Amino acid sequence: MSAAGLSPSHPVQVLDEFGTPRDVHVAGERPLTLYVDKREIVTLMTLGSAPELLALGYLRNQGFVKTIGSILSVQVDWKSDSVAVTASSGVDNWEGKLAHRTVTTGCEGTVFGSLMEKLDEIRLPPVVLRQTEIYHTLQRVNEYNEVYRRAGAVHGCTLCRGDDIEIFVEDVGRHNAADAISGHMWLEGLPGGGRIFYTTGRLTSEMVIKVAMMGIPILVSRSGVTWQGIDLARRMGVTLIARAKGRHFLVYHSARHALFDAIPQARPGHRAEANDGD
């Protein structure tokens, strides 16, 4: 999980609106080309904080490799901006997979397409969502988001269980951070049950699909949702909470299972729906 020699943020000098020079940090993004058994699969733009997990999660979520047991090695080489994976069983149907991906390119589209049929098989068991649990999660994730606080322009994803932050990953794209968490769960053999997935990014269809595929029943975001995100959450039984910041949040789905056991005392008036967290 190391990224030796790789700095996630870089200092730069800028001018502010007063014409005054200021030293700030900006996030780095670099290409990482993924090879499986010496065959090039994809080039991902990444912050580079968890390249091995990103590679594993990408292969898992795209359906390139079925079980973690068939992964023999994962080797990152930042000199050539590459990660080489070897798999004992290889990859079935290369051409089909690569051809298929060409029709699903795009920020939201990489897990779309043939996966949609499989989604109908996913139905997460109902869970009880406790307000105290949401607040615990929000308090804990607040301690993370290091690159974001320093440089901005990144998204953070977190896997939480009770008061534990099991893993926190930041990346330039929320889908990369989600893939890395998926890779971690795969590697450690973690089930999704009893866990909460928190992200700073929007809950689009892609995010909901990834979280449902990980078997995680509760998805919390600081940002907003799309209509398709809600629709998929309903179909697959994912509890969806968005606009979660401080004491505020909105439950977009599975409201029937929500237990409001920590209703804030003061009611400072409703906030605007759309905020800056996208």
* Residue 175 contacts its own copies per CB under 8 A: yes
* Residue 120 contacts its own copies per CB under 8 A: no
Q: Rounded to whole angstroms, what are the CA distances from 220 to 122, 134, 237?
A: 19, 8, 14
Structure tokens at 95: 């051409």
CA–CA–CA angle 265, 271, 272 (5° rounding): 165
* Residue 4 contacts its own copies per CB under 8 A: no
Count of residues touching its own copies (by CB under 8 A): 87
Rule CB under 8 A: which of 37-76 touch its own copies?
40-45
* Residue 274 contacts its own copies per CB under 8 A: yes
Rule CB under 8 A: which of 13-42 touch its own copies?
14-19, 22, 24-31, 33, 40-42
Shortest distance (Å) from residue 218 CB to its own copies: 14
Rounded CA separation 58/110 (Å)? 10
The CB density around residue 131, as the number of other CB atoms within 10 Å, is: 17
* Residue 195 contacts its own copies per CB under 8 A: no
Shortest distance (Å) from residue 149 CB to its own copies: 5
Rounded CA separation 120/68 (Å)? 24
* Residue 278 contacts its own copies per CB under 8 A: yes
* Residue 154 contacts its own copies per CB under 8 A: yes
For residues 146 and 241, the answer to whether their CB atoms sit within 8 Å is: no
* Residue 223 contacts its own copies per CB under 8 A: yes
* Residue type, position 130, single letter: R
